[in-house]
Chain A
Amino acid sequence: MANYFNTLPLREKLNQLGVCEFMDNSEFSDGVNALKGKKLVIVGCGAQGLNQGLNLRDSGLDVSYALRKEAIDGKRDSWKNATENNFTVGTYEELIPNADVVINLTPDKQHTAVVNAVMPLMKQGATLSYSHGFNIVEEGMQIRKDITVIMVAPKCPGSEVRAEYCRGFGVPTLIAVHPENDPAGKGLAEAKAYCVGTGGHRAGVLLSSFVAEVKSDLMGEQTILCGLLQTGSILSFDKMIEKGIDAGYASKLVQYGVEVITEALKHGGVSGMMDRLSNVAKVKAFEVSEELKDIMRPLFQKHQDDIMSGEFSRTMMEDWANGDKNLLKWRAETGETAFEKTPAGDVKIGEQEYFDNYLLMVAFVRAGVELAFETMVEAGIKPESAYYESLHETPLIANTIARKKLFEMNRVISDTAEYGCYLFDQACKPLLTDFMKKVDTDLVGKNFNEGKDGSVDNITLVNINEKLRSHQVEIVGARLRKAMTAMKAIKTA
């Protein structure tokens, strides 16, 4: 199988990368009708599989689960999850032939095997749904021409998809139709109905393409979302220990700080986050983040280039073939860092203290969000997609760190994201060696404002505010956040 994107002429590459439309509510007025009465068969019953299935069934759709024979015979967790919630469960051979829509919710690396197994069983004119485009775009999987191929990708973990649905809301969702596989022209209608079935239409839907989804998703998760949060957390913790800050305090500041800081990002964008700092601290955070942007820009560009050329997926698939040797080794190494091994201390850290004493992370987040966004847009990805894959998802990932540090983050994200995260982290730390030498506890561990009189130069501050507020990620973000009508607070410890 050849990388699908690389087989396209430049014109078509640009065309597919540039698909991005924020859909209006009125586009969903037909509800779930396009799927009503049809047989939806979900392959895989992990967190996404089970929770999406519960939502779709509660929306009045006919849902069952196809599992591998070994999972059924062995009464594995996936079998128990599905049967105990009263779903019909069967083997591929039993359920796929009657399915109108086959929904593939297995992990990336199983896609080729799963699709090869189900495709011959699928009836003429059925639909195959993905929640990530990797298999189609990077692995170049070819789907039978009578089959419609769609993507519905909720931008949140499975339990959240369920929780928000039960509240009468939903999570932002990205949908796409593969242009090579839409013989009857029904793909978009079915993707929209699916989206209504999981509640996504209430929280904002982005019409994308398989190509745009993959190329932006990979970039976001490798750089700002996981890679940079990991690098920034580890470097910050190590710096505090080096400077004699109490280890329990340092651990707590890093574990929860990134969540509290990005909560401000979620509500008010980069400028909302920076506005939580005093004027003196904001000027400093701006300067530090400008420096970080200069240092890290080439690395962000390298990641985007490798994603576009297919180099990233090629090396990762080599590792798949090698039994995940690198992935497992790097995962073990992350588990052994001092930050991971030091429990958060029993100290109370106030909400504002997380900003005042952790200015370095504010600078990291600003630099990372803006860099990821800029690099994606320069590479031909639409600003709306770039916003979703950078700023929008950062608080969601930060929340996983708050729960159980980097181990939890890397457990929750896909193996693909995890692999890219380690690649970034390994390259980024050496880049920042000289920079980190200059960092002292005023940036991380102690209150930056302490001992300062708080006055700043008017013109400097005006210029900084202007720069922050006029950045494209802020302009696009303000519009998209308004469309996502409700932003709810993440529960913090």
Chain B
Amino acid sequence: MTHSNMNNSKPKSLSGDLGPIVHVSNLNLQYQYKLVLKNLNWTINRGENWLLGGISGSGKSSLAKVIAGLQNAVGEVEFNFNIDSALPAKVLFVESWYQFKNVEGVANFYYQQRYTSLQAKETLTVGAELISYSKENNLEFAEVEKLLKALNFSSLRNSQLLELSSGEHKKLQLIKALWLKPQLLIIDQPYTGLDKDSRKTLNSLLDEICADGVQLILICNDTELPASINCFAEIREGQLVQVESREMISTAPERTSRELPDFLKQSPVYSSENIVKMIDVSISYGEKMVLRNINWEVKAGEKWLLQGPNGSGKSTLLSLVNGDHPQSYANNFYLFGNKRGSGESIWDIKQHTGIISPEFHWYFDASSTVWQSVASGLFDSVGLFRQLPFSQKAKVDELIEFFDLTENKDDLLSSLPLGKQRLVLLARTIIKNPELLILDEPCQGLDQQQTQYFNQLVDELCNNGMTLIYVGHFESALPSCLEKRIVLENGEVKAIESIAESCLV
């Protein structure tokens, strides 16, 4: 394919009489044997801002990557940037889920190491990253201050990039995009991991840059969009179909319900009535207090919702429950009836629990197939490092079938759409029928339909008496089995209540 005039555009006509900013013709893209885009045509005219919605796996992200020059395909993508504009004559693509790999100074890092307190700060900080970005793109630093403030990012300036959560990385990508103001900006799942206020802020910031001449393509199925969005489309059978409004975009068919595998119908075998018991638990890094005097008890079979704004300490709290936090050992804190640090290993703890979090997903072994990923849950390892006996293999097959993943079982996990990857990790997490299931924003990056599907599955799975701790934003869709709620704010417990009592959910 050709990328005509990507960076140094020569206009075909004088300004004032500019043609379409992008003209895509006869685009074809195939992944192995699967045809994703088929003779796709798309013209984006001046003043148009598009919403690209529709079913997961229909090729939206692939199309965006082809336009951004990040993915090869057969066909033509012609750009016609305005050279008289002050805005950079380029297209920028913000990924739905930023895969942060090139960490200077660290070859092999696992997310759990975020919790380790280390004196030597050897990797790039947010501040240094922004400085180098401003130099690379000739941007005014004063401009970004406003964005950092608007998106509540200022306090993270001295954090190392690898200390950021995946949601914070996403925000950083958005900040850079809003700062750069490219003539064409494509954002895949712009609202992932943002709380309600941040979403609103993002929409008004997007409207502002549109007013300055940026053209947008947003890929999502969300309902609250920037006012500037004025065109709607989806991909059907590899072709772009423009529709009248957001409501006309197709939705995924209802999930056909399947019978749970027998081994998941049985109640987990509880070793203790008490799953979690924290007495005045505090965590700090140097002077910085992350959790303060937490008192919390989770009993066998309870279904908890954990909530709190970004940075309130939710992930740290869960890292304690999952045995991941090095400071567990100095706190008065019991897991499955045993005091932490009384001679148990983290593998003993992990045997009782299953966890999914955005960070866990992020650092998951990219070279694993779907089947290997699910099977690795039996050993709590990230990727499969051993042979399985027949009965365990059968269990893996059965679970993969239940999740409708049989046709993908030999695919690389990383080659599936995000929603399906999450299902694989859910399957991995429950394969041992754990006593405690921890789902930390399991639907981050998923659209509404995928979220609904996922939560429905969680309800089915937890029917057998499994204990659940589920983290979701205040406004996100939740499974209906949740019965209790703990709310954190600034590292402290703000409320513990039963969900029936509170009318907020």
Contacts and interface: CB of A to CB of B under 8 A. Distances in A.
Contacts of A485: 385-386
A355 to B, nearest CB: 20
A334 to B, nearest CB: 19
A167 B365 contact: yes
A338 interface: no
Contacts of B108: 159-160, 163-164, 490-491
Interface in A70-93: 77, 80-81, 84-87
23 contacts: A50-B116, A58-B345, A60-B348, A62-B343, A77-B119, A77-B120, A84-B117, A84-B285, A86-B328, A159-B107, A159-B108, A159-B113, A160-B108, A162-B110, A167-B381, A169-B383, A400-B107, A403-B107, A404-B105, A485-B386, A488-B367, A489-B367, A491-B101
Interface residues of A, number: 40
A48 interface: no
A302 interface: no
A162 B329 contact: no
Given A32-B345, A85-B117, A163-B108, 5 more contacts: A80-B119, A162-B116, A166-B324, A166-B382, A488-B367
Interface in B76-130: 101-110, 112-113, 116-120
Contact of B383 (A57, A167, A491): A167
Given A85-B327, A162-B113, A59 B107 contact: no
Given A60-B344, A168-B382, A169-B383, A81 B119 contact: yes
Contacts, number: 106
A84 B346 CA distance: 19
Contacts of B346: 58-59
A216 interface: no
Q: Which residue, of B101, B119, B348, B366, has the highest number of chain A Cβ atoms within 10 A?
A: B119
A202 interface: yes
A436 interface: no
A445 to B, nearest CB: 24
Contacts of B362: none
A54 interface: yes
B152 to A, nearest CB: 27
Interface residues of B, number: 44
B379 to A, nearest CB: 6
B53 interface: no
A489 B286 CA distance: 35
B261 interface: no
Interface of A: 32, 36-37, 50, 54, 57-60, 62, 77, 80-81, 84-87, 157, 159-160, 162-164, 166-169, 202, 399-400, 403-404, 408, 485-486, 488-491, 493
B107 A491 contact: yes
A445 B501 CA distance: 71
Nearest to B345: A60
B491 interface: no
A486 B380 CA distance: 15
Contacts of B382: 166-169
A346 to B, nearest CB: 9
B381 A168 contact: yes
Shortest Cβ-Cβ A-B pairs, 6 listed: A168-B381, A84-B117, A86-B330, A77-B119, A60-B345, A167-B382
A166 B112 contact: yes
A491 B117 contact: no
Contact of B107 (A86, A160, A166): A160
Interface string B304-334: 0000000000000000000110111110000
A50 B118 contact: yes
A174 B443 CA distance: 43
Given A160-B107, A163-B110, A36 B119 contact: no
A86 B327 contact: yes
A54 B109 CA distance: 15
Contacts of A403: 104-107
A81 B113 CA distance: 13
A159 B326 CA distance: 15
Contacts of B103: 491
A57 B329 contact: yes
B109 A163 contact: yes
Contacts of A486: 383-385
Contacts of B117: 80-81, 84-85
A171 to B, nearest CB: 9
Contacts of A81: 117-119
A328 B81 CA distance: 55
A80 B120 CA distance: 10
A399 B107 contact: yes
B319 to A, nearest CB: 11
Contacts of B109: 159, 163
A85 B116 contact: yes
A169 B109 CA distance: 13
Contacts of A160: 107-108
A163 B330 CA distance: 22
Contacts of A400: 107
A485 B385 CA distance: 6
